[in-house]
Every structure is written in C-alpha cells, then in structure tokens.
Amino acid sequence: MPKIKALTARCLRGIREATLPFEGRSVVLLGENGSGKSSFVDALEFFFTGRVSHIEGAQTVSTLRHAPHIHFSRDDAAVGVEFDQPLGAVFRTFDGFPSLPTELQQHVELGARSTFILRRKNLLDFIMAQPAPRYQQLAAIIGVDDLDKAERTLMRARDDLRDEKQSLDWQVQEVEKSLNELLGEEVSTDEQTLAALSKKLVTLKQSPLESFDEVDARKVALVSQSMSPADTQRAVKVQDTLNTLVGLQSDIALLDRHRRLWDEVEALHQDVERVRQFLFQQVLEPSRRLISDFELDRCPVCLQTIDRETLLTSLEGRIKNAEQIAQKASEIKGLRAALVEQVRVQLARVKKLTSQLLELELPPEARISARYVAHMKRLLSALEPDPVEMRLPSLETYIQTPEVKTFADYVGNLLPGLRSEKKRLEPTERDRLAVETIDLLTRVTDSRQTLSRLRPQRRAKTATYREMVAIYECFVRTKRAEVQKIYRDLESDIKRFFQFLHQGEGYRKISLEVDEDRRASTEIKMSFYDRTQEDPRAFNSEGHLDSLGLCVFLAFVKRFNPGFPLVVLDDVVSSIDSGHRQHVCGLLSEEFGDYQLLITTHDDIWFEELCAHQRAHKREHLFVNLRILDWTLDGGVRLDKYKPRWERIEEKLGDADKTGAAAETRKTLEWFLYEMGIAIGTPVALRRDVRYTVKDLYDPFVRRMRKLVSGVYQSNIAVFQNLEANGIFGNLLVHNNPRAGSASLTEVRSFVSAVRAFHDLFFCDQCGRLVEYHRSANEIKCRRGCIMWETK
C-alpha cells in the first residue's frame, strides 16, 4: 500500500509554506488551538479532493475564496504529497493536477472517493444531534451527504409540479362545472357534450347536431332565419355581454371563496417567532457552520462571549422549525395558485366587457374598470412574495373597498339596460329561441375549446408529476435502503470497537436505524445492561458518545476504504478520559496497525499518552511525533520533533526559562496526581468544575498511599518530603506571582527534580504506564508487573 513520505502546503489556510515529514510513517501532531494543525488536515483533503469540505456548504464561505492563505490568491495555493516509490511526488493547485502517471492517478482518485478524515466538529455535531441532523452528520462521516442535495432538488421539483398540476386541475374543474351547468348534465367527453348539447337544442325547438363542425353553419342559419341580421347579431352581442356581466358580478365576491388562504397565511404569521426563524434560514445554516467549524466562543459581530454548545443546540432547533414552516408555505402556494388563476379570469372578463360595450356602441366607464383592475392587480402583487413574506391586508379590505363597490354598482347598473335591450331585440318567440340557441352554441364551443387546450396540458403535467414522484420515491427508497445496508455492515465493527474502548462496561448491542417515515433521519439504539435498544444519550457521558462517533467512523473506514489505508483524526478525543484514551491507542494499534495515521491534538497529555503507548509497544519506529512550536499569520507554523516531557523541561532550564519549566512541571504534577488519584482510588472532595489543584489532590493521595502501602511510603519518604519542600516554587512561578522573578534557576531546578522523582516512583519505563491498584489482588502494580507492591 502506498504511504505518504511528506505533505507540503503552500499558501493554504494558515500555512505559508510548511512540510509535514511523514517519512512513510504515521504522524502525531500536537499544537494549541489556532496553531495551524488543522491546516495540514485541510491540505491533505484539498490534495485528494480539491476541496476543504468544512468550509463548504454555507453561502458565506467556500474553498475557492477561503482555502488560500489570507495574504495570497488561489493561484499561489498548492499542496504537494510525496508518496513512496513508485508513485513519486506531485502538487495539486486550484487548477488541478498536472498529467499524472496512471498508478498515481488511480491512487488520487481512490482518495477522492474515500472518507478518511474525522474532524472534531463531526463528533460534536453527532453527539448533539436529533435524528435528522444526526443523519446529516453520519452522512458526512460516511460520505453520502451529496445525495441529500440531489434529493432536496428532486423534492422541490416534485412539489412545484404538484402545485402547477393543482392549478390546472382547478382551471379544468371550473370550466367543466360551468359547461355542466350550461348543459344541465355532467359531460366529460366530446361525444357526451355533443349529445347533451343536442338534447338542449331540442328543448330550444332546434334540430340536434351531428357534429361540432356544424356549429358555425347553424349559427349563420339561425341568424338568417330570424329577424334582421343586424338585430340578430346585436342580440347575440348583447347576450354575450350579459354573460360577461353575470360572470363578473358572480365573481366580484370571488375572494370569499378563498378565505382559507387568508386563514392559513394568518396562522403562519401568528407564530411570529417561527416565521422570523424561517426568514433567517439563509443565515442560520451558515451561522451554525461558522460557530461549529471555527469553534467560535465569541459572536463574530458583537464580540460578546457565547455559550457555543447551547447556541448550536438552539440553532439546530431553529433550523428544524424553518423546515416545518417551509412545508406550510408550500401548502399556501397551492391555495395562492388557485386564487391567482381566478383573479386573472376576472381581469380578462373586465377587458372583454370593455370591447363588448364598444361593439354595442355603449361607452364604457373606463375609469371605474381601470380602478377595479388596479385594485385586483394590487392583490396579485400582494400575493407575489413567498408565503412567509406575504403581508396580506385583511380579506375585507379587498372586498369592501370603493373600487369593488363602484365596479359592482357599475356592473349592476349595466345589467337592467342590457336586459331590456335584449328584450327589445326578442320580438318573437322564434327569435328569442334563436338568440338563446346562438348563445348556447357559442358558450359550449368556447368551453370546449378551453377544455381542449387545458386538458392536454393537465394530462402532460399529471404524467410528468407522476414520473417525478416515481423518481423521487425511488431515490429516497434506494438511499434509505442502501444507507441502512451500510449501517448493518458497520454494526458488528462498531460494537466490537466500542466494546474494546469500554471493556466490561455492559454494552451489548449498538444499532443504527434509518427512520422509514422521515426523509433523512437516523436513530441510534444501544443495549446497556438490562436496558434494550435505547437512545444512547439516555445513559452515556459526552465522552462515551464521542467515542461512539469515533467507532462509527473507524468502522466505516475499515469496511469501505480498502486500498486506501489513510486515517486522519483531527482533534477528536478531547472529551474522552485518560483510561479510555489508552484503549483508543490500543484500538488504533490493533485494528489500524497497517494504516498510516495523522492524529492531531491540542491536548499535550493525550499526545504524551500516544507517545508512551508507542514506546511501551515498541512501535516508535512507526510514528513521527511532532509539535507545533508556534504560529504566526506571516510566518506560518514552526514544527519540532517530539521530545519526552522531562527532556523538554530540561531544555527550558538550559535556556534559563524558569517560568516555562515550572509551568510545565506543575502541569505534569497536576495531571499525575489526578491520574494516580484515580488509579489507586483516592477519595477526593468533588469539585463542580472538575478542576483540581495540587493542593486538592496531594494530601488525600498521600493519605491513601500510607493506608495502602505504608512500607513503600516509608522507604520513599524522602521523595515525598522533597516534593513538599519544593512545591512552593511551582506555585510561585506558574501563577504570575510578582515574587516569581526572585526564584533562582537553582530553586526551579530543585522543584523539577522533586516532581520528576515523585513521578518516576510510580511510573514504569518498561510498560510506559503508571501503576494501578488492583483491589481483588491486593496489589498496586504496573501492567506487566515490573513494579508490584502488596497492599494492606
């Protein structure tokens, strides 16, 4: 398997130019927060994929704009990786790779399609998430989050089609309803329409029609057989105009039939807070990513301190609310489409009325019509915005307005005049029947033509909608089933890894279940002692959930990345305690021994533990342990090879760095007392903040030692006394005490020696571990028994 020999980043993220010397081995990289260690992880991701995923997905940040170093452009940024022979070395820029040899090309492509990086953010999100966001986190970990984007796009296309189809359904229904009313029976085909029309003609004392082709000829004949052609034509026009007026009059109150739209919009807007959150939807997701990815502890705008965890939880909730509002908004869109269509029909009638009145040489009241049209257009404008931004004045303000009232009066006033003219033009029964027949024929053929235009449109829309439903449902079903299959494949490894990390802690079964009823949602179930298949948050600490996320990722890598043995863990075990971290070391060494690892951490104790584990298991030759000395924006990172803790402290003493040497020694003493306190079961007064000082831990520890192994204590009493005599210097020098400067280098050296002697008393060089108390065996001993003290 090809191994990386060196990773070089130029002008990328926080790095101006730096090389991480893998030397074909795994790398453990220690650096404080913000020191640039994750920039190396970003560089590795950029090399294989051309992107830095954690700065993508939000509108405000992107790889193209934010991956290059802040002082450089995309043209300057490059990442090079040197592999073992025969692959060799190559640089990737924003323009991609130069032409690559086949084998290297294949390896890079394999990397691009593998999920090999686990960031702390992934785990934090995983812990906090509800089922739906958890699915997204898992999707990011297992590398299927791109499917979600496609799924959402298909879903929107399906919903848009549904709305358009509903609008066409409504239009067709309206025309059909009016045609049925006209014919006095329900018709759905041309044949039925023709038959019903013929029946109706018979009632008007006319002969039935053989086909619709005869309609025009029939109308001409009726005109010629009745009164003067001019009067007949005028009678027809009068009747047409009356029809338009009746339609207008009937639909002046059309808004009453759409009251539900107002109710729904009002209900939506009553929940002001949720709507506000929805309006912030475009901001919420980027904000969540910003706060999560960049681990901000201050608001970037007002610079006030924030509780990051609480804020992230709140953001998750708000994003969920926004999704619910989006669904409601979709329903409102459907109602709006129907209303808009009806208003447009009404506006078309107004236009038609004007031309009809002109044809009848009746001067139209253009101003009244124009004011009514303007009023209805204002309604259309008010309906235009997205439902959550729709500010609809009350329905009454559209119905009870001067524009509507004046127009209604205008229409109402026109009716009697036209009706009397119609009567005047109907001198004989025969003529009246002829006019009614012509009107019937005109209206039926108009409806028929409208239906012949709308029905094919509706058919095509319905078929397209059905096809899109089939596509979308197939996509969702396949994704659910395949993701569930992946979960099943992973379960045994997840369980094995988790049990390895939490040996003897009663965990029986871990399962991941895709929720069948939701678009994208995953439940985690865990069996713990007698509790069966419950949410792990019910009985797990944050550290346990953290390690569960780690196990999911590692199980995935193991199962699905064959041929690409690279694993990157970017600051992911910070909440796991020391004992379990030892197991993480063991798990990585047993299950991923042949992988190349890049482990970054800001935690120097975890770094030391990893180094000690390498020494204890004779695996030092497989690792390069590096620490980032410092980072500046212009200078970038400065790397140094790992030196054992005591060697580093000696180096500081050599440089006369009194404060540095004392600070690191005191920190070591605190860590040591904490770990040993746990190892021998020291009773200590609990602190809510879990921050114990040397003072809190030392006296109880000594009492415990004297109780368990008084002989060991007595024979090493000088070590304890020496520490007690020197402890004051650690205190003086660490806490910026003004008297610190007065401590001499000799005094600090004496403090360091005292702490080291104390540490070495309990530390086994062979095992690389501290001793532990084994109550059942009445022993305090190291792992292999090199140190063994019998207890009372």
Partner 1 sequence: MPQTAISERIYETFFAKLAESENVSRETLASLRRLYESDQLANKQRIALLVQEMEVGHAKDKGTDS
Give 3-state DSSP helix, strand, coil % of the chain, rounded to 5: 65, 10, 25
Instruction: Find tokens 């403090």 and name the residue.
Output: 751
DSSP string covering 243-285:
HHHHHHHHHTTGGGGGHHHHHHHHHHHHSHHHHHHHHTHHHHH
712 to each of 279, 677, 689, 697, 720, how far by Cα in Å?
Answer: 69, 16, 33, 19, 11
- Nearest to partner 1 of 490, 669 (CB atom): 490
Q: How far is the CB of 668 from partner 1 (least distance, A)?
A: 43
Cα maximum dimension of the chain = 137
Beta bridge mates, 18 = 9
Q: Which lies closer to partner 1 via its Cβ, residue 66 or residue 453?
A: 453
Q: In the complex, what is the shortest distance from the CB of residue 180 to partner 1, in angstroms, rounded to a whole number?
A: 17
Whose Cβ is closer to partner 1: residue 464's or residue 578's? 464
Closest CA to 709 of 646, 780, 777, 612: 780
Query: From the CB of 465, what's the least distance to partner 1, in Å?
Result: 9
Complex with partner 1: residue 2 or 36, whichever CB lies closer? 2
Whole-angstrom CA distances from 262 to 256, 269, 419, 593, 728 are 10, 10, 37, 65, 76
Say how far apart CA 211 and CA 205 lie, in whole Å: 18
Residues forming beta bridges with residue 788, ordered by sequence position: 781
Distance, CA of 450 to CA of 722 (rounded, Å)? 103
CB of 59 to partner 1, least distance (A): 15
Q: How many whole angstroms separate alpha carbon 471 and alpha carbon 729?
A: 73
C-beta closer to partner 1: residue 139 or 616: 139
Min separation Cβ 475 and partner 1, Å = 6
CA 552 to CA 531: how far, in whole Å?
21
Least Å from the CB of residue 495 to partner 1? 20
Q: How far is CA 131 from the centre of its chain?
A: 12
CB of 327 to partner 1, least distance (A): 18
CA–CA dist 278, 786 (Å, integer): 64
Distances (CA, A) of 190 to 210, 346, 437, 444: 12, 27, 19, 11
Tokens of 641: 């090879």
Least CB distance from residue 391 to partner 1, whole Å? Answer: 26
Residues forming contacts to partner 1 in the complex (CB under 8 A) are 113-115, 142-147, 149-150, 152-154, 156-157, 160-161, 455-464, 466-471, 474-475, 477-479, 482-483, 486, 560
Under a CB-based contact definition with an 8 Å cutoff, are residues 528 and 544 in contact? no
Instruction: Output 116 or 410, the one with its CB closest to partner 1.
Output: 116
Comparing C-alpha atoms, which of 587, 592, 586 is closest to residue 567? 592
Structure tokens given for 461: 């829309």
Which of residues 22 and 116 has its CB atom nearest to partner 1 in the complex?
116
- Placement of tokens 């009002």 in the chain: 266
Q: How far is CA 649 from the centre of its chain?
A: 46
The least distance separating partner 1 from the CB of residue 597, rounded to whole angstroms, comes to 20
In this complex, which beta carbon is closest to partner 1, that of residue 472 or of residue 528? 472
Output 109 or 409, the one with its CB closest to partner 1.
109
Strand, helix or coil at 82? Answer: strand
In 3D space, the residue among 400, 336, 352, 165 whose CA is nearest the CA of residue 243 turns out to be 352
Report the relative pairing of strands 522-528 and 531-534 from DSSP bridges: antiparallel
Distance of closest approach, residue 134 Cβ to partner 1, in angstroms: 18
Q: Rank residues 402 and 456 by Cβ distance to partner 1 and give the closer one.
A: 456
Q: Which is nearer to partner 1, 484 or 575 (CB)?
A: 484
* Rounded least distance, CB 121 to partner 1, Å: 17
Which residues, other chains included, contact 549 with Cβ-Cβ below 8 Å and sequence gap of 6+?
118, 122, 123, 126, 127, 137, 141
Minimum CB distance to partner 1 smaller for 19 or for 457: 457
> Smallest distance from the beta carbon of 164 to partner 1, in angstroms?
9
